[in-house]
Structure 1
Amino acid sequence: MVSPTCPAVVIAAPASGSGKTTVATGLMGALRAAGRKVAPFKVGPDYIDPGYHGLAAGLPGRNLDAVMVGADRIGPLFRHGSRGCDIAVVEGVMGLFDGKIDMTGPGEASAEGSTARVAAMLGAPVVLVVDARGHSQSLAAVLHGFSTFDSSVRIGGVILNRVGSTRHEDVLRQACERVGVPVLGALPRMSELVVPSRHLGLITAIEHGGAATDAVEAMSALVSQFVDLEAVSALARSSVTSAQWNPEDEVERSEGAPVVAVAGGPAFTFGYTEHVELLRAAGADVAVFDPLRDGLPTGTAAVVLPGGFPEEHAGALAENRVLLSDIGSAAARGLPVHAECAGLLYLARRLDGHAMAGVIDVDARFGNTLTLGYRDAVALESSTLFDAGTRVTGHEFHRTALVDVREGASAAWGWHTQRPDGRTAVREGFVRGGVHASYLHTHAAGHPHAISRFVCAAVDYARA
């Protein structure tokens, strides 16, 4: 018999920029302060918001990305991340009904991966956060539209954000009452809660340091004061009946315990919690290190270089020449290396003129063009992670580009994308020896076989 699932609320909005992160993070912190054990989640491939969620809830922030891991894993991953918790708070992505855009055709949009789809999968009610600036009686029409657009989604209430005055709040409450949507809170305009941002979104919590903690505490205090926590808790529901995801059931455990060094610290913050859980389940001894100041952990038999913001720390990364040299030498000897986005840049010859590891014979530079979106990719070469022909869905998210490419290694991935001049085949990333380096972010829970394969490669390297 499947145990009852954790009740949940989904924090969504009509559009990006409405204040979802402030409300969701503040709600997590406020509920925690009220004695609730809160499970924090984020819809989609976002790496930054979960860092703030983790500070607020005191538990690892997790992602629910139906595009990356498959719709069938959303329920099990939710149960895994919310086990033992009193309530789950799920922050949505973009607008409530905004989903994946298929870039292999003429940019067709779908609801796949949307907050609405995930809310329906969880059977959880949606709390709509509305930026009240510029709204008056017309808010009733907005709420009516969102409440009736999709019968699989239930709008359980609204939180009014950035309310200008008591009179403004009264008018907005009347509009909500007109369409029968309960008001769960009304937050005044608070400019001091703005968290500093940069080219790919908010500055990560680990980089923001104590200021991030202060911001989370301020969000939590704001929500505690202006949101009805009991009403939100009473609203929470979930109808997930699937079995809990268990990393030990997803991978084959290797013989021995190879040391897998996982880069962390301010420059490498983009990783999924389930990745490390799967590495450990496969038998790895995971050692987290900071490339800004540390050396390779003793006995390292494989390295994971996740995404992050190395372009913000290129000078400091370049100063740690011992680590760069050790990784370069070990990679030449066949060390298994899994590098995604920031990891790819770290393996280049240079990043914005700063010397990097030189494992991949390319330079990288920061630019003004944002590369963003899901990719339906196929592995073009067998590697320490994938067999040739393996299909995955990944996500690109960067403003850097590779220049002066002299690398003769095989491409890691291939996919098609739609451009103004027609459908174009893309070859991306590099496979050389034990190195798999690419801009493409993947989610290990979507292809756990790759983790088993990687840890086995680490065992072989350690023995050799």
Structure 2
Amino acid sequence: MSVPAVVIAAPASGSGKTTVATGLVGALRAAGHRVAPFKVGPDYIDPGYHGLAAGRPGRNLDTVLVGAERVPGLYAHGSVGCDIAVVEGVMGLFDGKIAASDTDATPSAEGSTAQVAALLGAPVILVVDARGHSQSLAALLHGFATYDPAVRIGGVILNRVGSDRHAEVLRAACARVGLPVLGVLGRMDELSVPSRHLGLIPAVEHGVAAVSAVDAMTSLVAANVDLDAVVAAARSATAAPPWDPATEVGEFAATDGRVCVALAGGPAFTFGYAEHRELLDAAGADVAVFDPLIDPLPEKAAALVLPGGFPEEHAAELSANTGLRAAVAERVAAGMPVHAECAGLLYLTRTLDGHDMTGVLDVAAEFGRTLTLGYREAVALTDSSLWTAGERVTGHEFHRTQLVSGAATETSAWGWRSWAGAPVREGFVHGTVHASYLHTHPAGNPQAIGRFVRAAERFAKSYGR
């Protein structure tokens, strides 16, 4: 039997899902449970707080990036050894990828919390921002409870309640539609976590303050939510064989022993999925994590992974590590494969906000005013160490920087159509370098990881590593 789960959702963004989900993970753990934390959608930041609360990695469940068929297996894989799982939703309960036309619309949008809850067979606990609500809350809850028959609302947590009398009125509204109230949280502004242009500051950057914030969320939920009722509401998720990275990589795995793949981490490169490292390992890589702010390039590195993050917040420190910048440029010139996404792309430019970067790509970048955000249906335009031309992927853009000079199109990595239908060419294939703003989920594209490790194997032989 699979591990029971509850899904923490809300009618809209900004209702307090992250506070409740993180606090619930911490409170259940403090009560003796082994908790598996998950986040619906492509978000990299919330899982960091979940991981702090759970003492194990937070993972993502994104049907758009990995395919709906993989989600039950990824859930089973991520909940091994646990007795309960907490899945935090994304945006409003039924919000997800916007359909291309009305004819594509379904009650639960692709990538929505509701779709994932239905796939897992798990009940939804709805977090409602109570500010401004009174008896009419019953009508809102009735709509959410009946909108999609595949989704079951198991209870309500009332957030930002103004007084005992306010709570009494809201409880009556919930009872009117037959939904139990599992918790009541007051207005606690002191629990806010500092944010920046793309959301919360990642837990690894926020350091001790992140731990304190998670402790505060845990205490708040433990004192105001009926944990026994939450555990009773949890239901075993749809049974599925656990996702297996070795099976996924399969024939694409390296064939000639282990090879070192350097993986950038630390405060500037915080965006990544736990399954990425697992797939690299399954494909034959010994993964060496290093911090580009302070560390040299791992000596035996035969390939380099530069994930997303916030390099614009650390541009001066990245620039100051001149030894690493020179080593990356030198090894790339010798043919080392590089997989760079978003922050990684910026690190490979000539300059970022005027600070010298590695110069691997003859472009400059700067922080911009416009947030670029959304799923992209992309096709590989050029053969690379990860993709073959014509291969199709679904990725996600999430950045506020832009390339301001030298963005040649003849080596573009990806092509797609904008919302208005205009052709878009994006990213670079430069020798053995694949660099792009597009984030992909390795679990949805395991063959690319296998190819990348094989390319590292070939480079190691030629470079004597």
TM-score, structure 1 normalization: 0.97
Equivalences for residues 383-402 of structure 1 within 5 A: 383-402=384-403
Flag the 1:109–1:357 CA change in 2: closer, same or farther, 3 A: farther
| TM-aligned CA deviation for residue 332 of structure 1 | 1.0
Question: Tell me, which stretches of 5 or more residues in structure 1 are unaligned?
Answer: none
Paired amino acid for 1:361: D
What residue number does 1:129 align with? 127
Say whether 1:196 aligns with 2:197.
no
Q: Which of 443, 446, 450 is 1:445 aligned to? A: 443
Query: What secondary structure sits across from 1:295 in the alignment?
Result: coil
For 2:234, the aligned partner's letter is A
1:162 to partner: Cα distance: 0.6
Find the aligned partners of 1:291 and 1:108 in 2 and give their Cα distance.
Answer: 44
The residue that corresponds to 1:54 in the other structure is: 51
Answer yes or no: is the 8 Å Cα contact 2:5–2:237 preserved in 1: no
- Give the CA deviation at 1:41: 0.1
C-alpha contact (below 8 Å) 1:105/1:418 kept by paired residues? no
State the Cα distance separating 1:242 from its structure 2 match: 1.9
Tell me the residue number matched to 1:324: 325
Cross-structure match for 1:357: 358
| Deviation readout 1:314-368 (Å, 9 max, x if unpaired) | 0110000110111011111111000000000000000000000000110001011
Kindly report the root-mean-square deviation, in angstroms, between the aligned alpha carbons of the 2 structures.
Answer: 1.3
1:9 corresponds in structure 2 to: 6
Q: State, as a whole percentage, how many aligned pairs show the same letter.
A: 69
| Maintained 8 Å contact 1:409/1:431 | no
**Distance of aligned partners of 1:122 and 1:406 in 2 relative to their CA distance in 1, 3 Å threshold:** closer
* Aligned amino acid, residue 118 of structure 2: A
Please give the residue correspondences for 1:219-230 in structure 2 after superposition, counting only pairs within 5 Å.
219-230=217-228
**Can you list the C-alpha shifts for 1:298-319, whole angstroms capped at 9, x where unaligned?**
2100000000000000011000
Match of 2:285 in 1: 284
Report the equivalent of 1:69.
66
| 1:382 match | 383
- How far is 1:418 from its partner? 2.2
Which residue of the partner structure matches residue 91 of structure 1?
Answer: 88
How is 1:221-240 mapped onto 2 (pairs within 5 angstroms)?
221-240=219-238
Out of 37, 42, 57, the residue aligned to residue 40 of structure 1 is: 37
In structure 2, what residue type is equivalent to 1:378?
A: V
The alignment partner of 1:63 has SS state of strand
SS at match of 2:419: strand
One-letter amino acid of the structure 2 residue matched with residue 97 of structure 1: F
Counterparts in 2 of 1:386 and 1:329: CA distance versus 1, 3 Å: same
Q: 2:262 is paired with a residue of what secondary structure? A: strand
AA of the residue aligned to 2:285: A
Name the aligned partner's letter for residue 202 of structure 2.
T
Query: 2:215 aligns to what?
Result: 217
Between the two proteins, the alignment pairs up a number of residues equal to 457
* Structure 2 residue 161 is matched with structure 1 residue 158: no
Between the aligned partners of 1:358 and 1:94, the Cα distance in structure 2 is 38
* 2-structure distance, mates of 1:406, 1:129: 44
Output the CA distance in 2 between the equivalents of 1:32 and 1:324: 42
Amino acid at match of 2:381: L
Q: Which whole-Å CA distance do the structure 1 matches of 2:356 and 2:66 have between them?
A: 35
Cα displacement (A) at 1:107: 12
The list of structure 1 runs, each at least 4 consecutive aligned residues, that deviate by more than 2 angstroms after superposition, is 104-110, 406-409
Determine helix, strand or coil for the equivalent of 2:261: strand
Shift of 1:404: 1.1
Contact 1:308 1:341 in 2 (8 A): yes
Quote how far apart the aligned CAs of 1:239 are: 3.8
For 2:301 and 2:365, locate their aligned partners in 1 and report how far apart those are by CA, in whole Å. 27
Cα separation, 2, equivalents of 1:56 and 1:390? 38
| CA displacement, residues 192-236 of structure 1 (integer Å, 9 cap, x when unaligned) | 100001000000000100000000000000000000000000110
Counterpart code for 2:232: A
Kept in 2: contact 1:264–1:288 (CA 8 A): yes
Are the structure 2 counterparts of residues 260 and 181 from structure 1 closer, same or farther at C-alpha, using a change threshold of 3 Å?
same
Question: Is 1:118 equivalent to 2:119 in the alignment?
Answer: no
Distance (whole Å) between structure 1 residues aligned to residue 2 and residue 382 of structure 2:
41
2:424 to 423, 426, 443: 426
1:326 corresponds to which letter in structure 2?
A: A
Question: Which stretch shows the higher mean deviation, 403-412 or 377-386?
Answer: 403-412
Give the C-alpha shift of residue 241 in structure 1: 2.1
Q: 1:173 to 1:376 in 2, by over 3 A?
A: same
Secondary structure at the counterpart of residue 300 of structure 1: coil
Query: For residues 38 and 258 of structure 1, what CA distance do their matches in structure 2 show?
Result: 34
Instruction: For 1:440 and 1:402, locate their aligned partners in 2 and report how far apart those are by CA, in whole Å.
Output: 14
Rounded to whole Å, the distance in 2 between the matches of 1:443 and 1:348 is 23
Change (3 A) 1:71 1:406: closer
Q: Secondary structure at the match of 2:275?
A: helix
CA–CA distance in 1 between the matches of 2:41 and 2:279? 20
- CA offset at residue 238 of structure 1? 2.8
Offset at residue 109 of structure 1 (A): 6.2
Aligned residue number for residue 24 of structure 2: 27
Q: Is the 8 A contact 1:107 1:418 kept in 2?
A: no
